[in-house]
Structure 1
Amino acid sequence: MTQHSTETPQFFLTAPSPCPYLPGQMERKVFTHLVGDRASALNEILTQGGFRRSQNIAYRPACETCKACVSVRVPVERFIVTKGFRRIIEKNRDLVGTRVDPAPTSEQYSLFRAYLDARHSDGGMADMTVLDYAMMVEDTHVDTMLVEYRFRGPDSAITGQGDGPLIATALTDLLSDGLSMVYSFYEPDYLDRSLGTMMILDHITRARKMGLPYVYLGYWVNGSRKMGYKARFQPQEHLGARGWEPMP
């Protein structure tokens, strides 16, 4: 069995493979394992340095001929709630988001499966089984959480929890300077609610209430329709050669 040091992380490079965002491009990734007692601290440092997390792996693009992937974060205190965002917030007033421990459930997987089949049937996660989903949620040594969104019930004002079926879910890492959204999915029958945007807006509100300055959105790729929505959250900071910089 391969042993991975918890004190000094080792980094590895993947073989080239087709880029999922830009046709005709090849991608490579540098990655390391997040294991042991220092996994959360390492995940925080790497996230601030442009890495993303998948289970117990932290990775970032290391493409030889392309630098299109840009790490994006939103400074919550300067975030501008546009009229479009206000409409989405108002449309989802009847939903309540509840923070829960990162424990997989059959209800989550059913929603996850419906989301993939409707929105990403040809993507790299399309064949994920219930075991794969369980590992995505709980196979980690870092500080993470789930936020489950359900309709507001008669007792929600008292309990702070929603009622009825699961509508959307976000897997999110907790950092000392923000929330890092790892993966989110939602009921595909409610496309008119813009649930993906709603979850980001909710996380910006959560970060502000928690006194955290940033929400990390992962990578934005100029020219990729899959990533285009991230440009709507303004102002935002991009990670470049000189560190995190505000975008004009």
Structure 2
Amino acid sequence: MSDISRIDSSAQRLDLLLTPPHACNYLTDRQSAILFVEPSLPMESPLYEHLLERGFRRSSEHVYRPYCPQCDACVSVRIPVDRFRMTRSFKRVIKRNADLKAIHVQPGFRDEWFALYQRYIHVRHTDGPMDNPEPEQFLDFLDSPWSDTLFIEFRLGAHLAMVAVVDYQPKGLSAVYTFFDPDLTSRSLGAYAILWQIEEAKRLNKSHVYLGYWIHESPKMRYKARFQPLEAYRDRQWRDLTPEEIEMGVKGASA
């Protein structure tokens, strides 16, 4: 990776590193490159929230943003929880999952979590870069030594139905990753996890739920536009996506 530029935080300037172009995991006809915050920088939740507010995200302990040659399809999005519009469809999802119990658990490795994660990845990401995960990859991907992360278990009696990994930030929640029992697809568990995080953010008086990147051209990432209003980071500011942009797509964050 090479040093490409710097960004300002309220306290310091941060070095950024750019990876060489490589095959994109979401759009197979494209090349992808990733802009990383210099890994040696001491990271903590307030600084990470500053970066979240500028279109970045974390994977493991690494904070990054897509910065791709000739492509700007990845759009950082978040839900303003006080303005979220509950639809009839979402009410049905909540009613369908009213029998689930949410349990806040500290990060760590659990065989039950990993077994569910393996099943989910095998069904949802077969032959992809995440297929056939190893135990050490599981926790390294989802947790970070500096983040305030919780694993939210959703149980149907004794049965583990879903786990939502959430970063609890000073002003918002960041949805890191969710995996669930692939035999329970009729419950719309992925949507329910986001709806639960919206309510959790309201309960804690937090302003936003960050959903990572919306990619209009990727069916796996398009679902995020169901949650309205949806704010997009574009031209160094957050604004609501318009119906036309949701229908046709919009370019991602400018450099």
Q: Give the corresponding residue for 1:241.
A: 235
Does residue 63 of the first structure (1) align with residue 68 of the second (2)?
yes
Partners in 2 of 1:33 and 1:127 — Cα distance? Answer: 29
Q: Report the aligned-residue RMSD.
A: 1.6
Q: Give the corresponding residue for 1:53.
A: 58
- Assess if the C-alpha contact under 8 Å between 2:21 and 2:69 holds in 1: no
Does residue 20 of the first structure (1) align with residue 20 of the second (2)?
no
2:26 partner SS: coil
Matches within 5 A, 1:145-184: 145-151=150-156, 163-184=157-178
- Assess if the C-alpha contact under 8 Å between 2:57 and 2:65 holds in 1: yes
CA 138–24 in structure 1, closer or farther in 2 if over 3 Å, else same: closer
Q: Give the corresponding residue for 2:86.
A: 81
Q: Give the corresponding residue for 2:112.
A: 107
- Assess if the C-alpha contact under 8 Å between 2:17 and 2:38 holds in 1: no
Q: Give the corresponding residue for 2:129.
A: 124
Match of 2:187 among 177, 193, 196: 193
Q: Describe the superposition over 1:195-217 as per-residue Cα deviations: whole angstroms up to 9, x where unpaired.
A: 00000000000001110010000
Q: Once structures 1 and 2 are overlaid, which stretch shifts more, 168-177 or 190-199?
A: 168-177
Unmatched segments (≥5 aa) in structure 2: 1-11, 243-255
Q: Give the corresponding residue for 1:218.
A: 212
Q: Displacement, 1:145?
A: 1.2
CA 12–88 in structure 1, closer or farther in 2 if over 3 Å, else same: same
1:226 partner SS: helix
2:98 partner SS: coil
Unmatched segments (≥5 aa) in structure 1: 1-6, 152-162
Partners in 1 of 2:93 and 2:129 — Cα distance? Answer: 29
Q: Displacement, 1:38?
A: 4.1
Q: Give the corresponding residue for 1:43.
A: 48
CA 219–138 in structure 1, closer or farther in 2 if over 3 Å, else same: closer
Partners in 1 of 2:127 and 2:139 — Cα distance? Answer: 21
2:89 partner SS: helix
CA 35–145 in structure 1, closer or farther in 2 if over 3 Å, else same: farther
Percent identity between the aligned chains?
39
Paired residue type of 1:176: P
Q: Give the corresponding residue for 1:207.
A: 201
Q: Describe the superposition over 1:147-167 as per-residue Cα deviations: whole angstroms up to 9, x where unpaired.
A: 11002xxxxxxxxxxx40211
Partners in 1 of 2:68 and 2:23 — Cα distance? Answer: 11
* Corresponding residue pairs, total: 231
TM-score norm. by structure 1 comes to 0.88
2:191 partner SS: helix
Q: Give the corresponding residue for 1:157.
A: none
